[in-house]
Amino acid sequence: MGGTITPFPGATASHRPRSLVPQAPCEHRQVTADGRIVCRKVARGDAEVSPALCASCPAALAGCEHLRFTLRKYAPVPIVVRYGGGRTEVWGDAPPAMRFERAACALRREPIGSPADCAGCALRATVPAVAAAQRQRQSAAAR
Ligand code: SF4
Ligand code: SF4
């Protein structure tokens, strides 16, 4: 009892949020009958998400309504290195992150490999909830 609740990041990309509330939950995030929080944009494999995973979501980072995508959870397999003296080190012990499984721009009709492909794009149609969150951040920074 009395545990800490870590909020998920607000609604983001392609995302087409139905609510204009800045911190509205991502429309792709769902709760299953057995109490797991999953992302319906994960094409295959484990679809369970956490606040950290959603914070790494490339669709959220791109933040454009023209983006069409599926996701996969990338979990690097750590390598345990054992030295002669009995010392061990774990390499590549990075936390899991979201990656695009497949993504394309519906407007330009081009594949999107990462959010960097959308950087500086003049055709961006920022998801309303993302735009509202950005305005909030800018006004907080200006104070
Ligand atoms: S991984 Fe991305 S699309 Fe999926 S629920 Fe999280 S923010 Fe939404
Ligand atoms: S390339 Fe431009 S229009 Fe297409 S999804 Fe990315 S930001 Fe949006």
pLDDT digit string (tens) for 120-143?
999 998 766 555 555 666 666 676
CA 84 to ligand 1 center in whole angstroms: 44
Tell me the pLDDT tens digit for each residue of 9-24: 755 544 444 333 345 5
CA 39 to ligand 1 center in whole angstroms: 6
118 Cβ below 6 A of ligand 2: yes
CA 122 from centre of chain: 22
73 Cβ below 6 A of ligand 1: no
Whether pTM > 0.85 for this model: the answer is no
Domain boundaries, the chain: 29-111+123-134
Closest CA to 114 of 104, 123, 128, 125: 104
Ligand nearest to the CA of 98: 1
Ligand nearest to the CA of 42: 1
Closest CA to 18 of 97, 117, 129: 129
CA 136 to ligand 1 center in whole angstroms: 21
Ligand nearest to the CA of 50: 1
